Amino acid sequence: MNSNTISNSIDKYGNVIQIEYADGNTVSSRAFVEPLRYRHKMYIGGKERDLDSLKHIKKKYLYIGQPNAELHKGDTVIQRDFEFSVETVEKYIYKDKVMYIWAILSLKNY
């Protein structure tokens, strides 16, 4: 697996985003931000849940972004006119190299 392939795909097909850090700094990057689908929702809370218990997470989004754009819990991701709060962040690492950043976002002011 080549990390440049993943990064190039995010650059080519991802949306422009802004990341606002807790210290006030801002960085531009590219990422995929999409509504969290049922199969992803099982990761919230670490266990699979039935559909009725998932109604409260309609405003959750999956983030796949560049490995060089650090992301931390509590940061803000802005895509167009939408603001998201970062809830969970993981780095996908392969052969000691970060391939991409995976996160769960919550839509602000929903």
Residue range 24-57, pLDDT digits in tens: 999 999 999 998 875 555 555 555 544 444 445 5
Dihedral angle sign, alpha carbons of residues 82, 37, 33, 68: positive
Q: Which domains does the chain have, with CATH numbers?
A: 3-107 (2.40.10)
- C-alpha–C-alpha distance, residues 20 and 80, integer Å: 14
Q: What is the pLDDT of residues 46-86, one digit of tens each?
A: 555 444 444 455 688 999 999 999 999 999 999 998 999 99
Which residues have C-beta within 8 Å of that of residue 9, sequence separation ≥ 6?
Answer: none
